[in-house]
Amino acid sequence: MLEGPHSRMRELLLLWRALLDFVRGFRVLHFAGPCVTVFGSARFSESHPYYAIAREVGRRVSLMGFTVMTGGGPGLMEAANRGAQEGGGLSVGCNIELPHEQDANAYLDKWVTCHYFFVRKVLLFKYSYAFIALPGGLGTLDELAEALTLIQTKKISSYPVILIGTGYWAPFITLLQDMIRQGAVSPADLDLFLVTDDLDQAMAHLETHAVTPFGLQRVRRPSRWLGERAPHRASGTPAPEKSVKSA
């Protein structure tokens, strides 16, 4: 980065590689349907208490008719994708190439692996009508801050953002409150998200702020008893056209 401009050919190759990331993502996710993106730590194993919570989040979101989208990796991302499949819904992921290879988890129906983080984030936001942040590290904070910034600046619509884990997110809320006192953040920005431990409240928030405002409709699920098979999606209907206004 400190070398300054590279050769025109090298810059062209960078653009070409980013374009390939986007094209692959658009092709894989075009028919994914209305998604809810779940953020969370890749480091929490199945023995961690939040793994079971993430799994239940994925299951409940799936039962609402949404496709569950994650970063496609292990930990709480895996748990949310696992819950989505257990709920009979579609489970998709946007994985990322890392120096120490991050493999896509085993609970994905569809996934794309990106080279660039910025492409990955555009894909995570482009197809989603809500964002759920479970406990996580710097990557989760990056994605959460990006979602809130895009909503705050009206680059995307006012999709609901839900933070699961009041104790875990308390320092984050304290930081925002201090920013408000310093004048760096508006008090109204605290209304951009819900913080809760109650999954019933979280799902009701999705119903009120993601399903109803955007006219999403449900379709009847296929019956296994009758030998019916789901079409491309397991539940829900294709969403109306949706796009991110900026990357």
Question: pLDDT truncated to tens, each residue of the chain (247 aa)?
Answer: 556 777 888 888 889 999 999 999 999 999 898 999 999 999 999 999 999 999 999 999 999 999 999 999 999 999 999 999 999 999 999 999 988 757 899 999 999 999 999 999 999 999 999 999 999 999 999 999 999 999 999 999 999 999 999 999 999 999 999 999 999 999 999 999 999 999 999 999 999 999 999 888 765 555 666 665 554 443 343 344 454 343 3
- Mark 156-167 as b/e (b = at least 16 C-beta within 10 Å): beebbbbbbbee
Strands of the chain (E only): list them: 35-39, 67-70, 91-96, 110-114, 128-133, 161-164, 193-196
Question: For residue 188, what are its two tokens?
Answer: 């109204």
Does 121 fall in a domain? yes
pTM, full prediction: 0.86
- Could you tell me whether strands 193-196 and 91-96 are parallel, antiparallel, or unpaired per DSSP bridges? unpaired
Does 7 fall in a domain? no
Does 229 fall in a domain? no
* Identity at 70, one-letter amino acid code: T
Q: How many domains does the chain have?
A: 1
DSSP-derived 3-state class of residue 31: coil
Domain residues for the domain of 180 are: 28-211
Does 217 fall in a domain? no
Task: Tell me the torsion sign for CA atoms 162, 87, 43, 125.
Answer: negative
d(CA 43, CA 75): 5
CA distances from 112 to 7, 16, 86 (A): 29, 17, 21
- Judged on CB neighbours under 10 Å (0-12, 13-18, 19+), 200 is exposed
CATH code of the domain in which 133 resides = 3.40.50.450
Does 159 fall in a domain? yes
Does 235 fall in a domain? no
Does 140 fall in a domain? yes
